[in-house]
Structure 1
């Protein structure tokens, strides 16, 4: 690594730069380092505070520790069916095949998983999974994953740029074929600029939830990686599919949207409306009817004998459960604070709940003054995850831009139209490793490194300070509030053409307002400036979501159209691809055929 300062701007040089320090970023950095690349991590927040820590339920992997009948083929089938067959089949295959090895790797590095009676890694039930296959640490699995990966990264000596935001991907375009030459960003504390030269960049920046009013996502999730990739020339795929997790806290208002882990339902919790009815039996879709219990007696037997009974309807995929909850609330059968009830107190004793769900017990006790061992929780849908993302090669995770890779939630294709719970953590591990190895191989194979020019640096600096040079414009907080309300009201869990057209018109107006945002003060300790930069990303990604949602005239997975309430066979063979328009201020949309699955994999779906 080299370091020097020129014109007041820090400059560094590495082989591989990973943007993001969640599970995908850390695993990618470790893989790149182990492959011999000089590697650095850049993270917007502090190391160890990534949103991955909020993943509570577990890591989906067909290890067969609870049910020997489980294998990668069943996991692959569950993943494809959960995504309504719109997944990239190759990504789903690699994920199912490699997830068990990645979990064992975590254990080798010191992760302390819960154990079965035989001393194996314990696995729990989750929605959409045929067998109990989520390796877990109570309901704090994401925290343990980050602790383990962070410790490994520090142990092997990977450099970390904490509280540093990347605002530009820099490109070498000398030979007519743009390729990555590095990144430009700034230190959040001081506002000083920094550039890092690197021929390989891995985006692992997570999701887009802060564009919505009610979300489980933390403040970092402003769609940075999606927008950076678009502006560099990469494409996004299937951005219309946004997952609304069925269970977020609804009370008090200060924690509205905070995640309530699916483990509550996996361990026996049931959903009730204000009339005390267990309503999920009324919402079983035809696609899952053959494997879903239609009586309470049969549903309750499933926990004791999964091999011979159909699973409870509370464990349907998340999109189905979220729509059912939304329907009950709209029908006037909601809870006092606008949600519905999640009840595990009547199903499990207090010691079991405190042992299996310690975080949930403390979260509700401390934040809502609710004892979940004695009374139901009030919950409702919350924007949680985006299935769409950067279009990548399934084996290497490389985008359409040479030297640019993506892993984790920021990449698209793996989950199709809906992600199964627990698949996100194994996705991070499997494709984080693959991205890291491919990025390192690319850097090592270059005869000549891409050139990072002074003009590129000056251009990044000029765009970053632009909000300070405007007088009398909008406050960025006002624009963000209006964007969140627009996305919540018009691009939410249920959509129509007229509302989506209205959303696109409103986003265009917000983009015009954002061009003249005013930021006061200076660059030190200035959260208003940080938000002003983030807003350009949020607006670009929000336009991508709304435009794709308007184009897809069907209901599938995380995309529900009230005016097209059923899935369409024609749309089931198409992906929607978003690219930056020629002006560089908006996006264009094209259709693309879904990759054809090989016959030997198709056989897994024959009844």
Structure 2
């Protein structure tokens, strides 16, 4: 392809968050030439947003913890539709990945005797999150990025968007995209491709996700013939900022609740005690005093209800708001300032444990969290669904195409536990890089189809050739409003069917959008190109959510509020049909090994 800037490598990694960086490090260590492509700047990834910590059963704070307990907690939190092999590997390998990071220079908070300190988090039975104050993700990215930039075999292409995966027959062969600054097309040829592109949050109006998270990897894999799975399971983090409007949706870390923060309604009552699920009742505190003792490390105490799973906490908050007991701006209050009743140095304690949260609220909302409760409400945060991969290798159903991190499905099932995302990207980023390197060594350099590259280029510039169409922003805004209203926290079949009709209409509008100006520095063009991906993932979420006629984890059906016992026996898998239409299938979950069943029976 002489007319386009072309790059050759052994392993192409798309996405430079924690999963992409870890995959690149592993593939390069195996002797491969690695190209790392990121949509934004290196280091600007949602891994940084994971402030509370990385879950790993190191038993540094509570010796009762083990990989078996972590496995059981992950499966229970995921409502047993997880890929159990991934949950097993994750629980077993996470401690080694944390110690590896420490050896590479990560500076974790320490216990009094010098071990890595671990904190409580929602859904975890014991203190399990290795952390750096409330800046854990930032420290992980810093450590991984430092290792990447000092590796000679890794080439980084920043501010580049991938528009299409290229194939040689059935196998992945590279990618086509463009640099966002000048708009010049690039082609990357690779023996293996790793997707590490993150989530789909920008399909919704209120989200903690930044502009990059438009479902690129999900849609790229789907269009290339890979299968998507569990797309109905979208996590709405219970605590995002809601006031002022300019900060709506920005994440408020679960670490606030892990350090003793409580949720109250406008009457000052801790409403989370009103609704504790039966399967968590034995582990949940009966009194505020017992919950406080738990957050302070009392091993005889049970956890406060604020540390139940995220889906449950989000629905309880919405209940308070809908029933008229919410805060002035449509949320509830998260109060960490109350601990001054328990600790004489509460203000300094909060600033030490939650420095980012203190500065975030002070600078963005003019609130001092050491004296004043925060107003919070649910925000679209994470998608449990993604590319269906093999649990051991992370390879998709397309040979040579791997996926890791949020773009890959399986580990989290119906609901991700806080902290599992950081250890997920370390464990499976490493595995994806390792197996992509193996695939690259065992397969020849692929051939690229010049016709496919030319077609991708024509499609990319088509918006410039249409006159009189509407702006892409209007279509994106309409999609976000519709998904928030019709396929949000609480779902009904009639509303989701309307959403599918709306997606069809929006797809027609997207085909007619116009872009003015030229390809250099043109955000309108970038938005127009993102629309196709947003529409694919929105349709996948809506179709899968209609098909699952029960409530489970992050998927709550107002018209089917109960769990169906059969719901834990299958995953919903989507793929692109030969006619271009989205096809859906209920795929039975493979039987769990007997030894893992015994763990679930004992600890689940």
TM-score range (shorter-chain normalised) is: over 0.9
Name the residue aligned to 1:115.
110
Q: Which one of 436, 441, 444 corresponds to residue 439 of structure 1?
A: 436
SS of alignment partner, residue 606 of structure 1: helix
Name the residue aligned to 1:53.
48
CA shift for structure 1 position 294:
2.4
Q: Which one of 199, 205, 208 corresponds to residue 213 of structure 1?
A: 205
SS of alignment partner, residue 337 of structure 2: coil
Contact 1:274 1:334 in 2 (8 A): yes
CA shift for structure 1 position 289:
1.1
Contact 1:110 1:148 in 2 (8 A): yes
Q: Which one of 89, 113, 124 corresponds to residue 119 of structure 2?
A: 124
Could you report, residue by residue, the CA deviation over 1:20-79 in whole angstroms, capped at 9, with x for unpaired residues?
A: 000000000000000111101000000011121111000000011111111100000110
* In structure 1, C-alpha distance between the alignment counterparts of 2:354 and 2:290, rounded to whole Å: 25
Name the residue aligned to 1:65.
60
Contact 1:131 1:306 in 2 (8 A): no
CA shift for structure 1 position 511:
0.6
SS of alignment partner, residue 128 of structure 1: coil
Pair 1:81 & 2:91 matched: no
Name the residue aligned to 1:17.
12
SS of alignment partner, residue 52 of structure 2: coil
Contact 2:198 2:407 in 1 (8 A): yes
Name the residue aligned to 1:510.
506
Name the residue aligned to 2:271.
279
Could you report, residue by residue, the CA deviation over 1:235-291 in whole angstroms, capped at 9, with x for unpaired residues?
A: 000100000000000001011000000000000000000011000011111121121
* In structure 1, C-alpha distance between the alignment counterparts of 2:472 and 2:299, rounded to whole Å: 54
* In structure 2, C-alpha distance between the alignment counterparts of 1:568 and 1:291, rounded to whole Å: 24
* In structure 1, C-alpha distance between the alignment counterparts of 2:469 and 2:390, rounded to whole Å: 42
CA shift for structure 1 position 587:
1.4
* In structure 1, C-alpha distance between the alignment counterparts of 2:293 and 2:56, rounded to whole Å: 24
Name the residue aligned to 2:89.
94
Q: Which one of 392, 396, 408 corresponds to residue 395 of structure 1?
A: 392
Pair 1:194 & 2:186 matched: yes
Could you report, residue by residue, the CA deviation over 1:508-541 in whole angstroms, capped at 9, with x for unpaired residues?
A: 1001111111111111001011111111000010
Pair 1:601 & 2:596 matched: yes
Name the residue aligned to 2:407.
410
SS of alignment partner, residue 324 of structure 2: coil
Contact 2:23 2:433 in 1 (8 A): yes
SS of alignment partner, residue 521 of structure 1: coil
Alignment of 1:220-239 (within 5 A): 220-239=212-231
Name the residue aligned to 1:526.
522
* In structure 1, C-alpha distance between the alignment counterparts of 2:375 and 2:160, rounded to whole Å: 37
Pair 1:203 & 2:195 matched: yes
Name the residue aligned to 1:354.
351
Name the residue aligned to 2:488.
492
Contact 2:226 2:388 in 1 (8 A): yes
CA shift for structure 1 position 305:
5.3
Name the residue aligned to 1:166.
162
Name the residue aligned to 2:445.
449
SS of alignment partner, residue 232 of structure 2: coil
* In structure 2, C-alpha distance between the alignment counterparts of 1:352 and 1:201, rounded to whole Å: 45
In the alignment, structure 2 segments of 5+ residues that lack a partner are 341-345
Name the residue aligned to 1:385.
382
CA shift for structure 1 position 460:
1.4
* In structure 2, C-alpha distance between the alignment counterparts of 1:88 and 1:580, rounded to whole Å: 22
* In structure 2, C-alpha distance between the alignment counterparts of 1:333 and 1:457, rounded to whole Å: 56
Q: Which one of 428, 448, 455 corresponds to residue 425 of structure 2?
A: 428
Contact 2:65 2:126 in 1 (8 A): yes
CA shift for structure 1 position 583:
3.1
- In 2 relative to 1, CA 358–148 (structure 1 residues): closer, same or farther, beyond 3 Å? same
* In structure 2, C-alpha distance between the alignment counterparts of 1:524 and 1:599, rounded to whole Å: 58
* In structure 2, C-alpha distance between the alignment counterparts of 1:141 and 1:571, rounded to whole Å: 35
Alignment of 1:243-262 (within 5 A): 243-262=235-254
Q: Which one of 369, 373, 377 corresponds to residue 376 of structure 1?
A: 373
Contact 2:362 2:368 in 1 (8 A): yes
Alignment of 1:548-567 (within 5 A): 548-567=544-563
Pair 1:299 & 2:291 matched: yes
Computed over aligned residues only, the root mean square deviation of the Cα atoms, in angstroms, reads 1.0
Name the residue aligned to 1:476.
472
CA shift for structure 1 position 304:
4.3
Contact 1:123 1:132 in 2 (8 A): yes
- TM-score, normalised to structure 2, is 0.98
Could you report, residue by residue, the CA deviation over 1:417-439 in whole angstroms, capped at 9, with x for unpaired residues?
A: 00000000000000000000000
CA shift for structure 1 position 306:
4.4
Could you report, residue by residue, the CA deviation over 1:116-149 in whole angstroms, capped at 9, with x for unpaired residues?
A: 1001111111000011110001100011110100
